[in-house]
Every structure is written in C-alpha cells, then in structure tokens.
Amino acid sequence: MAETQREPVPRVDTGELDVAHAFLKFQRHCVLKKAEGLTEDQLRKPLVASGTSLLGLIQHLTEAERFWFDHHVGGADWSEEDELDMAVPEERSAGEVIEAYRAATADSDRAIEAAGDPEALMAIPTPDGVRHTLRWTLAHMTTETARHAGHADILREQIDGVTGR
C-alpha cells in the first residue's frame, strides 16, 4: 500500500531546544494531517473497542497541550473543569475541536519560546511537587503526541486506507 501521507522528519540540528521543538511540531502536524479530507462522521467514528476516534484524540491532545505548557510551564490557572476526554460532545463541531488544538499548540509554542531554555523549570509543579524542566516537558509531550499520532495512523487507515506519517 502506498504511503500517501509520508513526509520526512525534521532536519533541524541547530540546538537542543530547536530540535526538540521541531520534533514536537512535526508530531502535531502528523496528528492534524490524519484528519484532513475526512467528513464530520468519519472524524467522530470510533473504530476500536475503547471508543477512540480521530476527533477524540485531537480533543485529548488539546487538553494535554494546555495542561503541560500553559499551566505547568506558563503558570496559567487550571481546574478540573478544563479537562476534556476523548468523548467529543455532539454540539462541538469537528472544526471547533481542530481549531482549539491549533490554538492550544500556538499558545504552547509561545510558552516554549518564553521559557527559552531547556533547563528552565516549570512555573507550576506537578501534583507530586516536582518542577520539571522544559526539556522534560518537551520530551513528555513529544512522546504523548507521537503515541496518539500512531493511533491516528491506524484509525485513518481503517477509515479510508490512507497511510504514512
């Protein structure tokens, strides 16, 4: 099967923060690419026993971006009311979910740029009291995003056969 969505990984090699940020951006792009050209119904359709859909993955990653970069790195307020799961409410359109993810990643990019140094510590410690570095947060979110990009690959292939990173 042809990999119709295959793209090369980033070739950035200008410094630790640049490389880490480039790979996170690439994984985010891969997630959004899996949603391109699909209908609202296709984006919402759960194709695995857990009920996961492409749109649910995007909504979940929006929350993760806001939690780790806005809240922990940037110091923004957070409450349980801000938490989203993978069940997208019917009144929330696919366009709204995707736009919220784009906005969250743009805000995250600003928080990353403001921190500016891989050694910078989180403004807000994690619930266990640890103030991780920006390096750790980038590694964590790149891993989380890549994991869900892989899920999105499988879901997209089940929908219409499109493959590739």
| CATH value at residue 101 | 1.20.120.450
The model's pTM: 0.92
Do the domain assignments include residue 165? Answer: no
Model confidence over 41-98: pLDDT tens digits? 999 999 999 999 999 999 999 999 999 999 999 999 988 776 767 889 999 999 999 9
Do the domain assignments include residue 61? Answer: yes
Model confidence over 101-141: pLDDT tens digits? 999 999 999 999 999 999 999 999 998 999 999 999 999 99
Rounded distance between C-alpha atoms, residue 130 and residue 153, angstroms: 33
Rounded distance between C-alpha atoms, residue 41 and residue 54, angstroms: 10
Do the domain assignments include residue 1? Answer: no
Closest residue by Cα to residue 121 from 137, 105, 140: 137
Do the domain assignments include residue 8? Answer: no
